[in-house]
Chains A and B, each alone.
Chain A
Amino acid sequence: DAGVIQSPRHEVTEMGQEVTLRCKPISGHDYLFWYRQTMMRGLELLIYFNNNVPIDDSGMPEDRFSAKMPNASFSTLKIQPSEPRDSAVYFCASSLDSGGRGNQPQHFGDGTRLSIL
C-alpha cells in the first residue's frame, strides 16, 4: 500500500509569496494531521481533521496559515503571505479512527522542506 504522499518535497520561494503544500493520506484513514518541525521547537501539531472536518486548529500559528480537506484523499496547507520564519519541514500524517483519543499509530509522509528567502 502507498503511504502518505506529500508534495512538493522541497519548496524555495521568496518572502510574500503564497505557498501551498499538498498531502494524500492513506486510503481508509479517518484522521489527517499537519505538523511543522524545526530545530528550535521540534515537531508541532498545527491542525488535524476527522472525516474531512477540522477538529483542532489551535496550533496554527497565525491567520496567514490555512488548511483544507475537500475530500478524504486530499488536503492542503497554505501560507499566504509567507515569511522567512515559516521555513521548516512540514509533515502530513494520517491514522485510523481513534475516537479522538490518539491511540492509533500515525503514518507520516516524508515532509516538505520549505525555505522562505
Chain B
Amino acid sequence: SQKIEQNSEALNIQEGKTATLTCNYTNYSPAYLQWYRQDPGRGPVFLLLIRENEKEKRKERLKVTFDTTLKQSLFHITASQPADSATYLCALPFVFGPGTRLSVLP
C-alpha cells in the first residue's frame, strides 16, 4: 500500500536559519505532490503543489523540490521566523503524511 514518511516528528531550529523537511513515499508514482501547514486546533492550509515534471518550485521564502527517482520531496523555509512554527504535512493525491512539527526558536 502507499506509504508516506516524513523525516522526523519534530524539528527545532534557530530563527533566521533554513528549515529543511523531508518527505519520502513508497508504492506510488504520483503526478503531483502537495505541502500543507497545520496550526493547533485548525485544519491544514495548502502551501504549494509541485508536478512530477517540475524539479523545484518557490513561493516567497518557501521552496519545494520533487525527485521522482528518489521518491522524495524536500521542503525548505529560508530565513525562518517564530511565526513559521507549525506542523507541515506532505500529501500525495488523497494521502497525507504524518507531518513534521517545526519549532523556530527566537
Q: Which positions in A face B, CB cutoff 8 Å?
A: 4, 33, 35, 42-45, 48, 56, 91, 93, 98, 101-103, 105-111
Please state if A101 and B32 are interface contacts (CB–CB under 8 Å).
yes
Contact of A105 among B31, B46, B96 (CB under 8 A): B46
Contacts A43-B89, A101-B32: A108 and B95 contacting too (C-beta < 8 A)? no
Q: Which positions in B face A, CB cutoff 8 Å?
A: 30-32, 34, 41-46, 49, 51, 89, 92-99
Minimum Cβ distance to chain B for residue A49 (Å):
13
8 closest Cβ pairs, A-B complex? A102-B93, A108-B43, A105-B46, A43-B96, A103-B32, A42-B98, A108-B44, A110-B43
Please state if B92 and A102 are interface contacts (CB–CB under 8 Å).
yes
B49 proximity list for chain A (CB < 8 A): 103, 105
- 8 additional contacts (CB under 8 A) given A42-B98, A107-B46: A4-B43, A56-B94, A91-B43, A102-B92, A102-B93, A103-B49, A103-B51, A110-B41
CA distance A99 to B30 in the complex (A): 14
CA distance A103 to B54 in the complex (A): 14
B94 proximity list for chain A (CB < 8 A): 33, 45, 48, 56, 102
Closest to B6 in A: A42
- Give 27 A-B contacts (CB < 8 Å), ordered by A residue: A33-B94, A42-B96, A42-B99, A43-B44, A43-B96, A44-B96, A45-B95, A45-B96, A48-B94, A91-B43, A98-B93, A101-B31, A101-B32, A101-B93, A102-B94, A103-B31, A103-B49, A103-B93, A105-B34, A105-B49, A106-B34, A106-B46, A108-B43, A109-B43, A110-B42, A111-B42, A111-B43
CA distance A93 to B89 in the complex (A): 15
Minimum Cβ distance to chain B for residue A85 (Å):
19
- Max count, chain B CB within 10 A of own CB: residue among A33, A102, A103, A105: A102
A102 proximity list for chain B (CB < 8 A): 30, 32, 92-94
A45 proximity list for chain B (CB < 8 A): 94-96
Please state if A93 and B31 are interface contacts (CB–CB under 8 Å).
no
B46 proximity list for chain A (CB < 8 A): 105-107
